[in-house]
Structure 1
Amino acid sequence: MCFCFKKVDESLCNVIFLGMCFMILFAADFTLANMQKTILSSIHDEDPNFTVEGYTVLGVLYTVFSVTLWLGPSIVALCGIRCAFIFASIGYTFYIIAFNMEQAWAIYSGAMLCGLGAGILWTAEGKYLVLNSEGKLMARNVGVFWVFFALSTFYGNIYTYFELEGKKYIDRDTRRLVVYVLTGISSLSIIMFMLIRPAKKEVEKSELETEDGPITALKKTWSVFTTKDMLTLSIMFLYVGMQQAFVTGIYSPCVGFTLKFGDASKQLIPLSGLFCGVGSLIGGSTQILMSDKINKYSFGRSTAALVGFVSQLIAFLLIFLNLPNSSVFNNTEEEAIIESSIYIALLCSILLGLGDSCYNTQIYSLIAVMFPKESAQSCALYTFTKGILVSTTFYFSNHVGLHKQLATLATGAIIAALIYCYIDQKTVKTIRDKKKLQEQPDITEPDQLMTPA
């Protein structure tokens, strides 16, 4: 595929192949994250001495992930983008296989290794994406990447959906088979990352990159973080972290724990994850088709991001009505405010995925314009700040009911939308003013200093 795009657009070829690598890796990771709480609960049902909590494991993973992001730019500068991708994918693979050991030490160790890999992976991804994207092509390339990334929710979840058919509880043989299949998928991504090509800009500026070592990269990260606009955006990033935890690791288990859905409740876990992917695919592909308009109009990015925030607000309201408050903890027969509907549950999955894709792509587009020379640092800070709230959300999900979580998310969505629009329009105005200043004629010539009588 790379060779057929080479003559047309080498950078687009690189972005597509990067998307394919992430599609394979996260086909395994997303499926496991979706099933993790349920898998660990089923192990506890068979062995009461096994007390590993699914949300806590995810919290540990994202805590290590957040800390690693501060070192991510330095590690990428030291070992290079390709090696960073390979190491990170190995970490994800070890994490998946650890679940078949069914030992607390193995699962927590795997979570920490995966968190370390994730911090490096997303720093390298942001840098590679920016290096392959000129200013006006950023929205298109992020959209292309996001479409492939969204497709990752399909393959593993489709397999798991059929594997769990008719199962109200997940037995040991089924768990092991699922984990082995996901490990094989994740291992394939390691091979694919070995084949990834360097970005054109990376080749052209190789000498410059070698001078920009780990210490310099760390200093740049801090200098970007302390800017006023980045600190303001960090408030919005916190909401993105909360909703990411909810979308990727909390909502689908809530659907599966709602026994009012009948014997199909466990099958709805991968199906919910798959429909989240459908929403992400709709959001990403729509933004590709409309990338020219998004770039053309001053409110383009803000409008696309607002579509995402509104979609999720609608989803939060419907989930509040459709799922019982205790479904976040374990299997429950509790009734929701309305009669629980599978169709509403899956519609909410689509809306959550749509919202997530809309403002994630627009956030990357915005920070690429704001910090074009600090791509690795700005992307690392985005994922760092987001990761703090992902881990925190998983920790408190063990103790806070679903309805309180939804109220918090809805409030955060409104605040985040206001902040995004404010910073985006401020950035648009700054760029416009710079262009006007550059186009302004030189008034130092005598004839230009003369004024009409």
Structure 2
Amino acid sequence: MFASHQLVGNLISLALLSSGTGGTTSGTTLLFIVFLCSMTLGTILMCFLHKRDGNGGKGAPDSSANFSSSVVSVLKSAIAPLFDVRMLLIIPLIAYSGLQQAFVWAEFTKYIVTPALGVSGVGGAMAVYGAFDAICSLAAGRLTSGLPTVTLIVSGGAFVQAIVLLWLLLKYSVTSGVLGVIYPLLMAAILGIGDGVFNTQLSALIGMLFKCDTEGAFAQLKVWQSASIAVVFFMSPYISLQAMLVIMLTALCIAVAGFLYLTLQVEKAFSSNS
């Protein structure tokens, strides 16, 4: 359901900008109004969420003391995973998952999709990305049954993304005709598959390895993903596409190496305990 937001949001963009006037004030203003309404509705609905009461609702403790102790507890929970070698080996893969998301949103749409399909085509290409992301998230989640399957699925996702990155770095150039339309859509689909793999498998991996502190571990997931996304958006105006692709490939190699080393260590520990 989370991954499907990219499909729905980009279909809305495609519908509102399909006339090819995406750069006009009226087209972008209408798009921003729709997204603002959606964001406002989501924020209002979020206010109705309630945390489950672990003590069965037996009285409320002192609010000031509870707040300070809660802040300290949250900080400890967020920092504690950084002292675990397993988390340190996962962080490069988490960071790469954020890098590749920001790369698709910022660089891929700017340098690959827009020259080939125009501004109005960005919504369509990203809708393809979102559709394959959602489908792959569902399929990968269903196939996940343990560390061996996580390793296999992550390796497959990394491999297909590496193919696209190498294609863009070494061979790709904007072409006209049918292939000029198909190539960006094909790359968007493959990148969506990779994103779906990383999102589901990182969550599964963290759930498997950090059962005693899932809250702190999942906080690390969002912290490093968000930091990587921010880095790409800040770097985007000052770096070329080729340099970004080299950085992405380097980050991918480091991330996969750390992940495979982690899986070997975990399997070895499991075998020795058995």
Bin for the TM-score computed over the shorter chain? 0.7 to 0.9
5+ residue gaps in structure 1?
A: 1-147, 324-334, 437-453
TM-score, normalized by length of structure 1? 0.53
Report the Cα distance in structure 1 between the residues aligned to 2:161 and 2:57, rounded to whole angstroms: 42
Q: Bigger radius of gyration, 1 or 2?
A: 1
Aligned-pair distance for 1:192?
2.9
Indicate if the aligned counterparts of 1:239 and 1:416 stay in contact, CA closer than 8 A: yes
- Deviations along 1:37-79, one digit per CA (max 9) or x if unpaired, are xxxxxxxxxxxxxxxxxxxxxxxxxxxxxxxxxxxxxxxxxxx
- The 3 A distance-change label for structure 1 pair 289 and 368 is closer
The aligned counterpart of 1:229 is 86
Indicate if the aligned counterparts of 1:276 and 1:352 stay in contact, CA closer than 8 A: yes
Aligned-pair distance for 1:429?
3.9
Report the Cα distance in structure 2 between the residues aligned to 1:267 and 1:307, rounded to whole angstroms: 32
Indicate if the aligned counterparts of 1:247 and 1:353 stay in contact, CA closer than 8 A: no
The aligned counterpart of 1:171 is 24
Runs of 4+ in structure 1 over 6 Å off: 209-212
Report the Cα distance in structure 2 between the residues aligned to 1:155 and 1:254, rounded to whole angstroms: 23
The aligned counterpart of 1:285 is 138
Aligned length: 264
- Deviations along 1:262-300, one digit per CA (max 9) or x if unpaired, are xx4112211121111122122112123323xx33xx511
Q: Map of 1:4-403 to 2, 5 A cutoff?
A: 148-167=1-20, 170-196=23-49, 198=51, 203=54, 213-258=70-115, 261=116, 264-291=117-144, 294-295=145-146, 298-320=147-169, 321-323=171-173, 341-403=180-242
- AA partner of residue 161 (structure 1): L
1:406 paired with 2:245, answer yes
1:427 paired with 2:266, answer yes
Report the Cα distance in structure 1 between the residues aligned to 2:16 and 2:163, rounded to whole angstroms: 31
Report the Cα distance in structure 2 between the residues aligned to 1:247 and 1:283, rounded to whole angstroms: 17
Indicate if the aligned counterparts of 1:283 and 1:357 stay in contact, CA closer than 8 A: yes
The aligned counterpart of 1:40 is none
Report the RMSD for the aligned CA atoms in angstroms. 2.7
- Deviations along 1:134-153, one digit per CA (max 9) or x if unpaired, are xxxxxxxxxxxxxx112111
- The 3 A distance-change label for structure 1 pair 375 and 157 is same
- AA partner of residue 149 (structure 2): G
Aligned-partner SS, 1:219: helix
Aligned-pair distance for 1:310?
1.0
Report the Cα distance in structure 2 between the residues aligned to 1:287 and 1:409, rounded to whole angstroms: 23
Indicate if the aligned counterparts of 1:283 and 1:358 stay in contact, CA closer than 8 A: yes
Aligned-pair distance for 1:413?
1.4
